[in-house]
């Protein structure tokens, strides 16, 4: 069977599964009957689209909304997957095309409107074309008690019977009555495996910290957890080696792991980690798949992960046994720059790059969150939550300030220098630092020169970092990383919107930590 991860990356353009997706994809791919309940926006479509590619034959997708089907078909086709739809919205030519592709055995996914199932011809067609899986989106439409009842959904049970293939049903509506009704109406005598778990991992403590002296921060975090098994994720291979050495120097049992190592060495680390208590593995994201050590007590990120999905997956390796586990994610302006340039310099088409920036923005939003992290994390996956009491911001509420005026000063420095400079030079202008470069370019003549004198350089660095985190400014790879304003900053610049920033992370960034003897 094909491997799911490369397809996830290459076809769908995602770097990690979202919570729940992997288990569902595995079950559906291996032909189990499945009922999966996931919040809206949780990523249900992938849970049948990916198995459709991994299985032989055609996957029939039944979905109540024509517009939705057309969207999905278009997106799949753009990703190079052969998909088609049979709906009342089709032109006769479109219908002919879909039929021809089906008869030629070329389609992997066939979307079909439920009312089509009523026509005898559709049943004949589906019998002929080698259907290997039925996927039912919005499965609660089969429920007479729900608000979206679709009588034609009742035919799906017959279809499953007639074709004798596995069925995977998806919905966001989780109440027990609807669930029971879906099971009886769609699966009858072959009860499905039900996936219904929230995304919350309540035993994980969540924390982020602005990078200050990263090595020190990681060493301190490990020190407070001496003797426990943990993982430190780093952005580069070199860093894993250096950080593992630093940990050993402090008397920890630590080793590094990355994709550049010989397979045998990598396996050696994996087995040691599984068997030994209290080993720290300092790794790139190559360390992950296939690790199912239940008692990993902590996960730290020495560098910001790629996306909010990657973050969730990586911290999720801690505390599988349900006992408390801790996480810490460091982030700084260099991470943001690096992640942005990786996206911009990648080979992905423009829409996908835009989506990747969006996913990174969500992670940055989480990093700069003003209140409960769990609430914003779960909110991103479509789940509502109360303040959790188990994250750094619940432990110690953030100090928030009105950052509007300072952000406008920074934007003004960017615009008056025509978006050609990086944070270092812009800060020199703001604090009125007469460097050679400032004098050469006559930037000491600007109106903005020195307007931010009241604050330190570190203060301004933190403001720029938060501005990046809120996606008000972005480095432009075509201008050597010069900062440019985004559309999102316009309302602030024009005085139509204000912005709240974290005050405490600015203070923290300015303070040097006490060095332990
Ligand atoms: P649902 O049907 O559950 O409401 P969708 O399948 O439409 O959700 O997915 C919601 C959004 O999440 C889409 O924009 C999709 O591209 C995105 N998405 C799904 N899976 C992933 C993933 N593994 N990583 C990143 N984004 C994802
Ligand atoms: Zn919280």
Query: How many angstroms separate the CA atoms of 54 and 453, rounded?
Result: 60
Kindly state the average pLDDT of the residues 280-302.
Answer: 92
ipTM exceeding the 0.90 mark = yes
The answer to whether 288 and 313 are in contact (CB under 8 A) is yes
Residues 6+ apart with CB under 8 A from 143: 149, 177, 178, 181, 182, 185
Cα of 22 vs centre of ligand 2, distance in Å, is: 26
Which atom of ligand 1 sits closest to the CA of residue 47? 6
Q: What is the pLDDT of residues 307-365, one digit of tens each?
A: 888 999 899 999 989 999 999 999 988 898 889 888 888 888 887 888 888 888 889 98
Atom 5 of ligand 1, residue of closest alpha carbon: 43
Q: How far is CA 219 from CA 207, 252, 382, 515, in A?
A: 16, 10, 35, 11
Supply the pLDDT for residue 516: 35
Cα of 75 vs centre of ligand 1, distance in Å, is: 12
Which atom of ligand 1 sits closest to the CA of residue 18? 23
Please tell me the total number of residues recorded for the chain in this structure: 517
Cα of 374 vs centre of ligand 2, distance in Å, is: 5
Token pair for 72: 């999905």
Three-state SS for 101-129 is HHHCCCCCEEEECHHHHHCHHHHHHHHHC
Cα of 399 vs centre of ligand 2, distance in Å, is: 15
Supply the pLDDT for residue 341: 87
Task: Work out the pLDDT band at 174, boundaries 50, 70, 90.
Answer: low
Token pair for 76: 């799949």
Query: How many angstroms separate the CA atoms of 283 and 153, rounded?
Result: 48
DSSP letter assigned to residue 43 = -
Other Cβ atoms closer than 10 A to 104: 9
Mean residue pLDDT across the chain: 91
Residue ranges of alpha helices (H) inside 189-256 are 214-223, 237-249
Supply the pLDDT for residue 197: 77
Query: How many angstroms separate the CA atoms of 323 and 212, rounded?
Result: 30
Please tell me the pTM assigned to this model. Answer: 0.80
Residues with CB under 6 A from ligand 1: 14, 17-18, 21, 38, 40-46, 309, 359
């Amino acid at each position: 069977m094909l491997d799911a991860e490369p397809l996830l990356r290459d076809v769908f353009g995602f770097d990690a599964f979202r919570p729940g997706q992997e288990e569902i994809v595995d079950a559906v791919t291996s032909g189990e009957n499945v009922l999966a309940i996931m919040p809206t926006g949780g990523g249900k479509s992938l849970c049948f689209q990916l198995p459709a590619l991994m299985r032989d034959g055609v996957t029939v997708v039944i979905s109540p909304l024509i517009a939705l089907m057309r969207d999905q078909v278009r997106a799949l086709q753009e990703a190079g997957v052969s998909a088609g739809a049979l709906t009342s919205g089709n032109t006769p030519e479109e219908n002919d095309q879909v039929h021809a592709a089906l008869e030629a055995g070329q389609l992997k996914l066939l979307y079909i409107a439920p009312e089509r199932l009523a026509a005898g011809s559709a049943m004949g067609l589906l019998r002929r074309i080698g259907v290997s899986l039925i996927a039912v989106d919005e499965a609660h439409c089969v429920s007479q008690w729900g608000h979206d009842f679709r009588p034609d959904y009742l035919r799906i049970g017959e279809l499953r019977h007639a074709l004798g293939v596995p069925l995977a049903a998806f919905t966001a509506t989780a109440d027990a009555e609807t669930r029971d009704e879906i099971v009886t109406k769609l699966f009858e005598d072959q009860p499905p495996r039900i996936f219904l778990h929230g995304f919350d991992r309540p035993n994980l403590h969540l924390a982020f910290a602005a990078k200050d002296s990263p090595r020190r921060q990681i060493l301190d975090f490990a020190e407070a957890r001496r003797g426990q098994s943990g993982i430190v994720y780093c952005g580069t291979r070199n860093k894993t080696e250096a950080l593992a050495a630093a940990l050993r120097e402090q008397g920890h049992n630590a080793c590094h792991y990355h994709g550049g190592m010989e397979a045998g060495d990598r396996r050696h680390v994996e087995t040691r980690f599984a068997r030994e208590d209290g080993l720290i593995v300092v790794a790139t994201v190559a360390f992950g798949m296939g690790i199912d050590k239940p008692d990993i007590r902590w996960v730290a990120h020495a560098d910001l992960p790629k996306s909010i999905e990657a973050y969730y997956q990586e911290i999720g390796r801690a505390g599988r046994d349900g006992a408390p586990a801790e996480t810490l994610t460091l982030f700084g302006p260099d991470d943001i720059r690096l992640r942005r340039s990786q996206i911009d310099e990648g080979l992905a088409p423009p829409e996908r790059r835009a989506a990747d920036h969006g996913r990174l923005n969500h992670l940055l939003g989480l990093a700069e969150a003003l209140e409960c992290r769990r609430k914003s994390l779960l909110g991103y996956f479509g789940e509502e939550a109360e303040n959790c009491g188990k994250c750094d911001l619940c432990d110690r509420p953030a100090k928030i300030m009105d950052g509007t005026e300072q952000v406008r000063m920074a934007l003004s420095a960017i615009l008056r220098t025509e978006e050609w400079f990086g944070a270092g030079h812009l800060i020199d202008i703001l604090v009125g630092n007469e460097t050679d470069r400032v004098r050469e370019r006559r930037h000491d003549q600007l109106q903005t020169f020195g307007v931010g004198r009241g604050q330190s350089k570190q203060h301004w660095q933190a403001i720029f970092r938060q501005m990046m985190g809120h996606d008000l400014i972005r480095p432009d790879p075509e201008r050597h990383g010069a900062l440019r304003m985004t559309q999102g900053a316009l309302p602030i610049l024009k005085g139509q919107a204000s912005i709240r920033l974290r005050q405490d992370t600015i203070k923290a960034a300015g303070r040097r930590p006490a060095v332990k003897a």
